[in-house]
Amino acid sequence: MSLFNEKLKVIPLKEVLSIFILLFLVQYFLNTLNIVQLDSIWIYILLIFYIIFKLDFTFPDKDDYLEVLSADVLKQVVLLVILNVFISYGFLYLSHALLNLVPSLNFLFGSSTASNSIMTLSLVATIIVSPVAEELIFRGIFLNRLQVIIPPLFAVLVSSLLFASLHSYGSIISAFIFAICMAILYLKTENILIPIFAHFLNNLLAEIIVRADVNSLLFTNDVVIGAMSILAVISFVLLFKSIILELNSIK
C-alpha cells in the first residue's frame, strides 16, 4: 500500500464529519436566506483541499496509477459501471411509475433552468469533482474509520447508506448499490484511485447517455423502455449475486 493510501486511512472521522456537516449547514443557510446561492461543488472542493492538507500534501505514487490501468482492474470496473448504469435506469423507471401513482411526490424532483455556464460547472462537478471528493470521503475516510469501531460488513453498509442519502429520489437505491460496489473495490485493492476511476467512468457514461438522448427516447419510447428494463433486471441479478459473494468474504 502506498504512503498516500496509508495516510488516508487514519484521517480522523469525527473531524471530517464535523467539517462536512458544517459546510452543508452553511450552504443551506446562505441559500435559504438568498445571501448567495452555493452549489455542492464548492463544498466538495473545500473538502478535497482539506484532505490534501491532512495528507501533508502526499499524493498517489506511480504504482497506484498503474494498478488502475491494469487489465484485470479495467475489466472489473467497466463491467461494474455498465451494469450499474442499467440498474440506475431501472430504478428511475420505477420511481417515475410511483410518481404517476402518487403525483404529490413531485416535490422530490428538482427543476433546473440553468445557464450554459452553470451547466458546464455542473458537468465538471458531476464527472470530476464528485467522484474524487465522494470516494475520498465515503470510502477513503468513512469506511476506513468505521471499520475501527464496527465490523467491516456494517462499515460498508453504513458508509454506503450515508453516500446514498445525498442522492435524490429515484437514485437512492441505485446509489446505495453503487456505493457497496465501490466499497468492495476499495477493500479488495486498498487503492482509492480505483473506486475514483470507476466513479468517474460511471458518471461520465451517465452524462453521455443523457446528452445523447436528445429526444428523450429513454423515457418516452416503449420499446426502449422495455429493453432497458430487461437489461436493468438482468444487471441487478448479476450484480446482486456478485455483491453477496463479496460481502460474505468480508471479515
In the chain, what's the furthest Cα-to-Cα distance? 54
The boundaries of the domain holding residue 163 are 61-109+117-249
Mean pLDDT of the chain: 87
Residue 117 has pLDDT above 50, yes or no: no
- Is residue 225 assigned to a domain? yes
Residue 82 pLDDT exceeds 90: yes
Q: Which of 27-31, 55-59, 105-109 has the highest mean pLDDT?
A: 55-59
**pLDDT digit string (tens) for 30-67?**
888 887 777 778 888 999 999 999 999 999 999 999 99
Give helix 172-189 / helix 152-165 axis angle, nearest 10°.
Answer: 140
With 90 as the cut, is the pLDDT of residue 109 above it?
Answer: no
Residue 103 makes CB contacts below 8 A (sequence gap 6+) with none
Q: Report if residue 130 sits inside a domain.
A: yes
**Torsion over CA: 61, 67, 70, 75 (sign):** negative
110: confidence class by pLDDT, cuts 50, 70, 90: very low
Judge whether residue 105 has pLDDT over 80.
no
Residues 214 and 80: their CA atoms lie apart, in Å, by 26
Q: What percentage of the chain exceeds 70 in pLDDT?
A: 91
Number of domains in the chain: 1
Backbone angles phi, psi at 216, to 5 degrees: 55, 40
Residue 17 burial (CB < 10 Å; 0-12/13-18/19+)? middle
pLDDT band, very low/low/confident/very high, at 113 (cuts 50, 70, 90): very low
Q: Would 144 be classed as within a structural domain? A: yes
145-155 pLDDT per residue, tens: 999 999 999 99
Could you tell me the pLDDT band of residue 111, with boundaries at 50, 70 and 90? very low
Torsion, Cα 177 181 187 192, to 10 degrees, reads: -110
Does some domain include residue 143? Answer: yes
Q: 177 lies in a domain? A: yes
- Residue 25 maps to a domain: no
pLDDT digits (tens, 9 = 90+) for 161-194: 999 998 876 789 999 999 999 999 999 999 999 9
Q: Is 29 a domain residue?
A: no
Q: Are 228 and 90 in contact (CB under 8 A)?
A: yes
DSSP 126: I
- Tell whether 85 is covered by a domain: yes
pLDDT tier at 198, thresholds 50, 70, 90: very high
